[in-house]
């Protein structure tokens, strides 16, 4: 009994110490109500800056300075109209085709080029941007961080990401993935309200946000090959969302006493003319079981039935059973042997064997090791392949008891890495959004057919324009089509 009382007392004291460690309740800038928050505003900005580095590394920035500058200016202007005007708002376009937008604490806002392709006016853009700014001002993303931190106590951060292949990934820590946890429906409803408010204050017709949500529901966007989740994976759909947004937009129009609010459809469409649409083969593509990278001129096989995620920092290939993975990345500078030594030092790997080898005429180094992770002990075979000033790095990863069954496949994949020299594989180009003027009024179906859109693509292009195929299109208006790139 005395021992049990001692244990109870120690637990109580530990809990009390933890509660005393938590900062005092903060006041939410939007609701005005107190809340438990582990981050000060300065901490939010610092965390946002750190996470921004990871986001850019993981997903890459879309190269369109003019478009990025325009959107960043709009983001900062809307941020000044928000409940937290003093945050250093920053906007970036991620180079991925998935349809999504998200924010991290401190005022960092991200749109994918996929969602930019699906928007059809500045008013829609402003509504979605206001929604994401709303997640920041209401501290939803900071709240996610706090929840994740609390959940990690006693469980270990590794429990948040339990897939085997993440054990050697740069994102096995609590980082970018934390911000892709689902918001609650209450969070989404509040962000919708704030999006309407901020867009209205900026002079836009916020009812257009409802129109975009209708388009999203028809698209039902999911994840893409980069592994980034789609809109509904991170933004659950509140009940009566479209009706609520339309009602709030009327309320704000009346409250602000504004008559005509801006939509600016044509201005937005001209901004996205030429935007890369879908997967960009210049950044890597798979064809007939081979991964090609035209920009960096290399190729290697992809195991049959394995899932591939391609990001700017790493190519991840995961077995159908999710019990093995091959991770591919690129480093600059070190020799293959130095790169192997760096891997051992970083992971504290126990070396089983290592030797210099040659892979298709390229100086290389092979390493077999064991790495202890929070998920257990893993067996890893690594190839470090040097070409010019780059070292191409493969890691084949599995549990010790399953490693032997995958060893041959790991070796074949890594051993067939070679320089890409086929001009047809190199000279590929992405599809792009092209904006066309309608000469004659008619249904969208008739207009698209007159613009040589294939019958099989009509529904897709109608969705891209946020319209139905039987909707009337006035003469001299603009529509989006997709210009096919050069594919082998």
For residue 49, tell me if it sits in a domain.
Answer: yes
Let me know whether 345 and 478 are in one domain: no
The range of the structural domain enclosing residue 449 comes to: 431-483
pTM of the shown model: 0.85
What pLDDT is stored for residue 166 in this prediction? 47
Q: Do 246 and 300 sit in the same domain of this protein?
A: no
Angle of helix 122-137 relative to helix 185-201, nearest 10 degrees?
Answer: 120
Shared-domain flag, residues 114 and 98: yes
User: 41 with 183, same domain?
Assistant: yes
10 falls within a domain: no
Beta bridge partners of 350: 370
Of 400, 426, 452, the residue at which a domain comes to its end is: 426
Same domain for 347 and 454, yes or no, is no
Task: Report the alpha-carbon distance of residue 437 to residue 415 in Å, rounded.
Answer: 52
Residues 348 and 413 in one domain: yes
209 phi/psi in degrees, rounded to 5: -60, -40
Does any domain span residue 18? Answer: no
**Tally of structural domains, the chain:** 3
Write down the pLDDT at residue 10.
37
State the CB neighbour count (10 A cutoff) for residue 250.
Answer: 12
My answer on whether 395 and 437 are in the same domain is no
Residue 25 is predicted with a pLDDT of: 59
Distance CA 431, CA 348 (A): 44
Q: What is d(CA 346, CA 170) in angstroms, rounded to the nearest whole number?
A: 11
pLDDT at residue number 306:
95
One domain, residues 389 and 468: no
Q: Could you list the pLDDT tens digit for every one of the 488 residues in the chain?
A: 443 443 343 333 333 333 333 444 577 888 777 666 667 888 888 888 988 998 898 889 999 999 999 999 999 999 999 999 999 999 999 999 999 999 988 999 999 999 999 999 999 999 999 999 999 999 987 777 666 555 443 333 232 233 444 444 432 333 455 556 678 899 999 999 999 999 999 999 999 999 999 999 998 776 666 667 888 888 888 989 999 999 999 999 999 987 779 999 999 999 999 999 999 999 999 999 999 999 999 999 999 999 998 888 889 999 998 899 999 999 987 899 999 999 999 889 999 999 999 999 999 999 999 998 876 789 999 999 999 999 999 999 999 999 999 999 999 999 999 999 999 999 999 999 999 999 999 999 999 999 999 999 999 999 999 999 999 999 999 999 999 997 76
**3-state SS track over the chain:** CHHHHHHHHHHHHHHHHHHHHCCCCEECCCCCCEECCCCCHHHHHHHHHHHHHHHHHHHCECCCHHHHHHHHHHHHHHHHCCCCCCCCCEEEEECCCCCCEEEECCCEEEEEHHHHHHCCCHHHHHHHHHHHHHHHHCCHHHHHHHHHHHHHCCCCHHHCCCCHHHHHCCCCCCCHHHHHCCCCHHHHHHHHHHHHHHHHHCCECCCHHHHHHHHHHHHCCCCCCCCCCCHHHHCCCCCCHHHHHHHHHHHHHHHHCCCCCECCHHHHHHHHCCCEECCCHHHCEEECCEEEECCCCEEEECCCCCEEEECCCCEEEECCCCCEEEEEEEEECCCHHHHHHHHHHHHCCEEEEEEEEEECCEEEEEEEEEEEECCEEEEEEEEEEEECCEEEEEEEEEEHHHHHHHHHHHHHHHHCCEECCCHHHHCCCCEEEEEEECCCCEEHHHHHHHCCCCHHHHHHHHHHCCCCCCCEECCCCEEEEEECCCCC
Q: Within this chain, do residues 323 and 408 fall inside the same structural domain, yes or no? A: yes
- Listed residues 257, 276, 295: the one ending a domain: 276
Strand partners of residue 94: 61, 112
pLDDT for 58 equals 85
Is residue 445 domain-resident? yes
Residue 176 lies in a domain: yes
pLDDT of residue 143: 76
310 and 396 fall within a common domain: yes
363 falls within a domain: yes
Residues 240 and 190 grouped into a single domain: yes
Residue 453 lies in a domain: yes
Q: Which are the contacts of 102, defined by CB distance < 8 A and separation ≥ 6?
A: 110, 132, 135, 179, 180, 234
Q: Do residue 59 and residue 203 come from a single domain?
A: yes
Residue 436 lies in a domain: yes
Encode burial over 2-20: b for 16+ CB neighbours within 10 A, e otherwise.
Answer: eeeeeeeeeeeeeeeeeee
- In this prediction, residue 148 carries a pLDDT of 59
> What is the pLDDT, as a whole number, of residue 199?
97
Domain termination site, one of 276, 309, 334: 276
CATH number of the domain residue 310 falls in: 3.40.1000.10
């Amino acid at each position: 009994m005395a021992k049990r009382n001692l244990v109870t007392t120690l637990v109580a004291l530990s809990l009390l110490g933890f509660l005393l460690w938590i900062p005092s309740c903060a006041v939410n800038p939007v609701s005005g109500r107190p809340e438990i928050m582990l981050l000060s505003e300065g901490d939010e900005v610092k965390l946002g800056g750190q996470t921004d580095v990871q986001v850019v590394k993981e997903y890459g920035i879309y190269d369109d300075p003019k478009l990025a500058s325009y959107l960043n200016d709009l983001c900062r202007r809307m941020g000044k109209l928000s409940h937290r005007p003093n945050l250093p708002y920053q906007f970036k376009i991620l180079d991925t085709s998935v349809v999504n937008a998200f924010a991290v604490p401190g005022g960092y806002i991200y749109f994918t080029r996929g969602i930019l392709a699906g928007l059809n006016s500045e008013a829609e853009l402003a509504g979605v941007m206001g929604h994401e700014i709303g997640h920041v001002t209401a501290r939803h993303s900071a709240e996610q961080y706090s929840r994740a931190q609390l959940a990690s106590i006693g469980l270990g951060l590794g429990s948040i990401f339990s897939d085997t292949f993440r054990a050697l990934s740069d994102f096995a820590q609590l980082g970018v993935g934390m911000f892709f946890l689902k918001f609650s429906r209450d969070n989404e409803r509040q962000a919708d309200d704030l999006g309407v408010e901020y867009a209205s204050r900026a002079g836009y017709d916020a009812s257009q946000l409802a129109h975009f949500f209708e388009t999203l529901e028809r698209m039902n966007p999911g994840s893409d090959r980069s592994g980034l989740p789609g809109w509904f994976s991170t933004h659950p759909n509140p009940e009566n969302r479209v009706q609520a947004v339309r009602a709030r937009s009327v309320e704000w129009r009346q409250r602000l006493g504004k008559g005509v609010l801006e939509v600016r459809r044509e201005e937005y469409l001209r901004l996205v003319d030429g935007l890369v649409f879908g997967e960009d083969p210049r950044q890597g593509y798979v064809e007939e079981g081979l991964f090609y990278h035209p920009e960096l001129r290399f190729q290697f096989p992809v195991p049959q039935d394995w899932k591939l995620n391609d990001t700017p920092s790493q190519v991840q290939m995961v077995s159908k059973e999710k019990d093995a993975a091959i991770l591919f990345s690129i480093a600059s500078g070190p020799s293959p042997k130095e790169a192997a030594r760096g891997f051992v030092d970083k992971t504290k790997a126990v070396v089983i064997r290592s030797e210099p080898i040659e892979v298709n005429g390229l100086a290389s180094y092979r390493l077999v090791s064991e790495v202890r992770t929070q998920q257990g002990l893993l067996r890893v075979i690594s190839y470090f392949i040097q070409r010019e000033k780059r070292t191409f790095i493969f890691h084949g990863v599995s549990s010790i008891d399953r490693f032997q069954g995958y060893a041959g496949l790991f070796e074949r994949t890594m051993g067939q890495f070679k320089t890409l020299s086929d001009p047809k594989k190199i000279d590929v180009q992405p599809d792009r959004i092209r904006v066309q003027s309608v000469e004659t009024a008619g249904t969208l179906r008739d207009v698209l057919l007159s613009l040589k859109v294939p019958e099989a693509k009509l529904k897709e292009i109608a969705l891209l324009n946020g319209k139905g195929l039987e909707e009337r299109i006035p003469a001299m208006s603009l529509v989006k089509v997709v210009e096919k790139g050069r594919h082998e």
